[in-house]
Structure 1
């Protein structure tokens, strides 16, 4: 490893720190103790030149500029430059998952990582009415509220973590930072960037059960004093644990090039590419009803040979950082991206009547289809100008931002043919007519032979059905001001003016062109009081707004965020508005090595645009709901040997108003009242550490997003209940030598059956991964 001389404008985690003991440079502890320094001074007075022994303790250098030095699970600052204060002083709950925490957990898929975050549940993504991974934050739809380095990532793809430095989840309405949407919060991935500070190459090679293989490379090279490049690469294959022939494939490349034009001006160019292809396993299906409903046990893998979920992602990003003056700084980001997403998957549904060969009838488990494709092109530019000044004797950190985005989505379906012979005869309960079908079990309940090739599909990409387009011009201003030595205020205001259009093509009576424009105004305010130098209490209020037709993948499906049409044109719906009140406290403890956060919150969403089943025409601005709860988090080093990340959320949701009277008083769908997570790591000896993660989610009802859970009216029970679960993982790592580490992860160590989400009809239920064992060798050149 080579290192250039330290620079004062480099990240604090990489600079020499002036400390009397245990000084660090680049993450290496020098270990000078007071006992060493006293004889050293005496020897200096006597003219002796004998030096005491210096203990050097090697530690992995962390290239993350937002890291807390020497605390692997704790971030000190946000990667979003608009958060001008450390996380411990920011009046909002922001959960940060560092690279070290990600590595120790053994999780690589974004769905698994975010499912561990208290307050986040998963929805049925690719196979419901949404493409890509789908997240729900504090009960509110967030599938379009994913950002990369502060810019919205609208591709709605299968997402990976190999190029992520840290992952930030802002809780609560966030439109003053993020723009439209963000009613429950936002997810911001901070990516790995080239650095001029030192060279390194890290190679991780993983293997394990279920034919798991994963290789990643992270290499940074200082080409000249002014130019650095960083390469991150990924190749991975695995069978879904205990669910073969279902499998996953990932190939990725992230390139970052930094050119430091001067000490005050630098330019970074990035490329990110991902090729993700799965043969998906939809897990199970619902049986029973109400609180007696449950995912069917021991369901065979009914994935068909032709099934796939595929995401291709290509993005280019240019960043400029310019220190115009000591107190004035400009950051600018420009991105162009294209993604291509498609899926053909098989669900199972437990309903209807089938006729056996002897004429008897039985209730079959039938196979059905979920499919679609979309192609996304987007352009985004954001410029932030920060100016620190003193006005009226008070310190101000002023930030002005402008942002422009142009986002286009073309959407269509696949044409499916079948070469496989039907294996059951289905009877229509109303008409009595019969037709051939595909069933998982025979009349005796035995799994049919050749289940995975039963349908024999032929797949052809069909014509485009929707062309969705939105252009947005936004401006915002924010200020953080120290009112006194103890009181600090934050305020932000953002305006988003958008032009929206949708062309519906080749879809029968729904053909048409729809367009409209509007301006959204959102604000965010916070007040903190410093109880001690290390502890604050805060109060904040923030708003969010979403628009009619804001979900690009939903078209005219009003039940999933698609546009509501009235009298042949876009309905005159007002924007949905969310307002969040939060009271909290944050404490930087144990010499800033442990951050404890606790908050109570209440979010009310009004003027909700409710869907009318799957119909184009829905009810607009007729709904209102509320989520309130308590959240706590503790992250950092409890002792020199014990590292922890622990959090929990207790929430309640309630529909306050609805066009459907029976919805009032019910909880939201896809909403877990309680969720918790703990990741603990203990260093037994300098070279060996071991730990465990535990995650818990309470039961939740399936249903449409942002609306009441479906109920069986006769019993007052939810129609499809996803049961509560808790899952335990174990991990351990051993440093073989200064260049090599080995880590073992045992995921779902007790091989527990658990389920993540259910489709609103119960026709499939996502099954969590069974036990998996993974071994990772890390080598640093």
Structure 2
């Protein structure tokens, strides 16, 4: 088959698939692939995947609505490349994001809330702001990184590109896709915990312009220094690429992922008598291994996603793109939420500090639930690059449509929950699921259109302006069976999120910019994950509004081998809401919050054999207005004043028989407050990690990773009244093969 006939076949396949999926503009693919008889050329079966630059400023942004490289984008973007994830042996999205300062993780509220990946960017919730290959990844669950090519964090309100939410920004994952040429790799990892994990990554070219790729993962592991906390995961992700290397490319991807994990609600935050600030009980001698669960405290999740990414270069100036995803997420969940009260009925706190036996209280919010989610999203866009009136233009326009349905059933326990010592629960106890307690169903429809124009006034100076208009419709119905109390709400909202920048690029590797951007979080957007926010009062609230002001610079050094970036920013959030950590009641509906600060970073190669990815941020957060007067002037919860991360590797005798790769890094954040009143805190985190790798031959590599080498008492996830201690010192061994 010659190159043009391959293009034609791929174009026809894309056109047919486009009709089946309802993809706008897909019919153009057929006409674009019409061959000329004398244009036949042979396309060799070689891998055309070039090595990605170590300087992540030179990498493409993994969101189609933000075309170009990180260097060209007038907003701060942190990138965690695959090379770093492999060196660190990253297995989850949470682990990848530890390379990005200013991100914290929080814990869900149990039956009344959300669990799984819950990230805060610069202190603001980003639980619905995770994107994979440009599309929102619906559902609350713990994500595995076995298909990840890179992870980027777009910082600051980004409603234009990401839609609703995106207060602190968004998390964008690029996955491994089929490529021309053949490649086969596998890894086997074992170590402390105990820990065992295996992965396979196979790519097979099956035609001149087509290839298949298959990723498989299996894991069974436990967490060092966390009693009874184990995880069993499995994932398989086949994908097909058509029209690779041609003007019309279609990537079809399916992923099945499932896990059965022990749930970990953490340990309580307590206030020592005579003090005013609550701290984790582990700061007062409670072993960090303490766990309050039972055998029935599990998080069982099955995720199936189908994705189609179609790109068609219609001509030299117009590119059309259409991305579609259908997702199904099934989840069974239960855990034990412990608190240490000091009451006449339960003097836990008093007894703990007096050295007497103390019993924690276990909240009913940890009762089991079953949840089914399905969601469909389609984003169609056109990017036009043209010259008009002697001025260069880049115009992006498109539509973003999505539907999400969530059905949750909450259960009572058939047997009485046993009391637990503050020093740990009974891991051998099984709690039988009882009768249905409540049912909830949420349907969310979003209709959005966006337009963005970048105009070059001179070859060096350009202005960027755009906006997204979004229509957001929610249908919510909840029933509590014990009282027959029903809540039915239908909030609707239409909002516009503008964006504007001025960009000066005296050279291609020097970018200086000033940006204004907004995002909106409409009422009802959290009903799915925080049903306690659903009431007739909150349904009529004005949307939360988030505004970013940022000035920054991105500069390539030493022939772009190294990238230096920095930014000053301010985020203002109005109409903020807060959910009480104990009761779930929504309050402070007119709060105004601000987080401002700066971030600097370095990425790339210091020398040909020495790479570095490092960044530091300082943040000054404040509650500027509140219905609770005492909270005015306090720091915003979960926002540290400082945070930093660094990972560096040095290759010795690369390509020689006696070779070695040495890596090391540090992650650090300062103390954070856990509530708006600033009466509870989590201490600072500090972790030192290291890696030693040796390539045995062209196909085999051995690697040893050490984590938290100082065995520091750190905290992985935070909530208003509890925290989850991080793993203690851990060492893992990996054997990797690639062909």
TM-score w.r.t. structure 1 length?
0.82
Q: In the alignment, which of 545, 558, 571 is matched to residue 577 of structure 1? A: 545
Q: In the alignment, which of 101, 106, 111 is matched to residue 84 of structure 2? A: 101
Corresponding residue number in structure 1 for 2:534: 563
Quote the Cα distance in structure 1 between the aligned partners of 2:525 and 2:149: 30
Residues 173-196 of structure 1 show CA distances to partners (whole Å, capped at 9, x for unaligned) of 01011111001100111111111x
Q: Quote how far apart the aligned CAs of 1:244 are.
A: 4.0
Residue 281 (structure 2) pairs with residue 295 (structure 1): yes
Contact 1:73–1:100 at 8 Å: present in 2 too? no
Residue 457 (structure 2) pairs with residue 483 (structure 1): yes
Give the 3-state SS of the residue equivalent to 1:241 in structure 2. Answer: coil
Q: Quote how far apart the aligned CAs of 1:672 are.
A: 1.2
Structure 2 stretches lacking a partner, 5+ long: 8-45
Pairing 1:493-642 to 2, within 5 Å after superposition: 493-506=467-480, 508=483, 510-557=485-532, 562-566=533-537, 571-611=539-579, 618=586, 621-642=589-610
Q: In the alignment, which of 231, 242, 250 is matched to residue 267 of structure 1? A: 250
Number of aligned positions between the proteins: 676
Quote the Cα distance in structure 2 between the aligned partners of 1:593 and 1:474: 39
Quote the Cα distance in structure 2 between the aligned partners of 1:63 and 1:524: 36
Corresponding residue number in structure 2 for 1:56: none
Pairing 1:281-430 to 2, within 5 Å after superposition: 281-289=264-272, 290-291=276-277, 293-296=279-282, 297-299=286-288, 300-351=290-341, 352-353=343-344, 363-368=358-363, 370-371=366-367, 372-418=369-415, 422=418
Contact 1:741–1:777 at 8 Å: present in 2 too? yes
Give the 3-state SS of the residue equivalent to 1:176 in structure 2. Answer: helix
Residue 173 (structure 2) pairs with residue 189 (structure 1): yes
Corresponding residue number in structure 1 for 2:18: none
Residues 459-492 of structure 1 show CA distances to partners (whole Å, capped at 9, x for unaligned) of 2583652111111111111122222021022222
Q: Quote how far apart the aligned CAs of 1:554 are.
A: 4.1
Corresponding residue number in structure 1 for 2:26: none
Q: Quote how far apart the aligned CAs of 1:75 are.
A: 5.2
Pairing 1:121-140 to 2, within 5 Å after superposition: 121-125=104-108, 127=110, 129-140=113-124
Change (3 A) 1:587 1:261: closer
Quote the Cα distance in structure 2 between the aligned partners of 1:146 and 1:355: 41
Contact 1:329–1:385 at 8 Å: present in 2 too? yes
Structure 1 stretches lacking a partner, 5+ long: 9-60, 423-436, 442-446, 711-717
RMSD of aligned residue pairs (Cα, Å): 2.7
Quote the Cα distance in structure 2 between the aligned partners of 1:132 and 1:744: 28
Quote the Cα distance in structure 2 between the aligned partners of 1:306 and 1:637: 49
Give the 3-state SS of the residue equivalent to 1:647 in structure 2. Answer: strand
Q: Quote how far apart the aligned CAs of 1:614 are.
A: 6.8
TM-score w.r.t. structure 2 length?
0.86
Quote the Cα distance in structure 1 between the aligned partners of 2:48 and 2:518: 35
Residues 601-649 of structure 1 show CA distances to partners (whole Å, capped at 9, x for unaligned) of 0011112245577778745751111110101111111111110000011
Residue 420 (structure 2) pairs with residue 438 (structure 1): yes
Corresponding residue number in structure 2 for 1:468: 442
Give the 3-state SS of the residue equivalent to 2:243 in structure 1. Answer: strand
Quote the Cα distance in structure 1 between the aligned partners of 2:236 and 2:185: 15
Give the 3-state SS of the residue equivalent to 1:302 in structure 2. Answer: coil
Contact 1:548–1:609 at 8 Å: present in 2 too? no
Corresponding residue number in structure 2 for 1:11: none
Q: Quote how far apart the aligned CAs of 1:292 are.
A: 6.1
578-587 or 289-298, larger mean C-alpha shift: 289-298
Residues 153-180 of structure 1 show CA distances to partners (whole Å, capped at 9, x for unaligned) of 1211111111011111000001011111
Give the 3-state SS of the residue equivalent to 1:100 in structure 2. Answer: helix
Residues 326-345 of structure 1 show CA distances to partners (whole Å, capped at 9, x for unaligned) of 21111111111110123211
Q: In the alignment, which of 225, 229, 238 is matched to residue 246 of structure 1? A: 229
Residues 186-244 of structure 1 show CA distances to partners (whole Å, capped at 9, x for unaligned) of 0111111111x210011111111122111111111011113211001100111111324
Residues 726-757 of structure 1 show CA distances to partners (whole Å, capped at 9, x for unaligned) of 10011011111011111110111122111133
Contact 1:74–1:593 at 8 Å: present in 2 too? no
Change (3 A) 1:615 1:92: same
Give the 3-state SS of the residue equivalent to 1:114 in structure 2. Answer: helix
Corresponding residue number in structure 1 for 2:32: none
Change (3 A) 1:612 1:283: closer
Corresponding residue number in structure 1 for 2:612: 644
Change (3 A) 1:500 1:657: same
Contact 2:328–2:372 at 8 Å: present in 1 too? yes
Structure (1 or 2) with the larger CA radius of gyration: 1
Residues 40-68 of structure 1 show CA distances to partners (whole Å, capped at 9, x for unaligned) of xxxxxxxxxxxxxxxxxxxxx99877x63
Q: In the alignment, which of 119, 129, 133 is matched to residue 145 of structure 1? A: 129
